[in-house]
């Protein structure tokens, strides 16, 4: 199992990530709100501006203050 740093000492398992998206669109904002109500939202942004939303295979939604491109580069790095 490989862990990916999503900022500020927070990590997610690489094989559990379904997608990484920007939080700017209305459907994503709605999804974040729904996840918060269901109790499946994990806020790993530590009070900073949310710049990416990570969808996990467990249906959890993780918020990160890193841009999606940075997380993508970390996923591509195989070291």
Which pLDDT belongs to residue 10? 97
Residue 75 has pLDDT above 80, yes or no: yes
Which pLDDT belongs to residue 77? 86
Which pLDDT belongs to residue 17? 98
Residues 9-35 have pLDDT tens digits of 999 999 999 999 999 999 999 999 999
Which pLDDT belongs to residue 70? 96
* Number of compact structural domains in the chain: 1
Which pLDDT belongs to residue 79? 60
Residues 46-73 have pLDDT tens digits of 999 999 999 999 999 999 999 999 999 9
What residues make up the domain containing 37?
A: 3-76
Residue-by-residue DSSP string for 4-62: EEEETTEEEEGGGEEEEE-S-SHHHHHHHHHHHHHT-EEE-STTSPP-EEEEETTS-EE
């Amino acid at each position: 199992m490989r862990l990916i740093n999503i900022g500020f000492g927070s990590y997610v398992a690489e094989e559990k990530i379904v997608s990484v998206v920007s939080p700017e669109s209305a459907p994503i904002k709605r999804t974040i709100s729904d996840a918060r109500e269901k109790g499946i939202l994990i806020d790993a942004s530590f009070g900073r501006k949310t710049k990416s939303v990570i969808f996990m295979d467990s249906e959890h939604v993780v918020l990160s203050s890193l841009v999606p491109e940075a997380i993508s580069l970390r996923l591509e790095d195989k070291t």
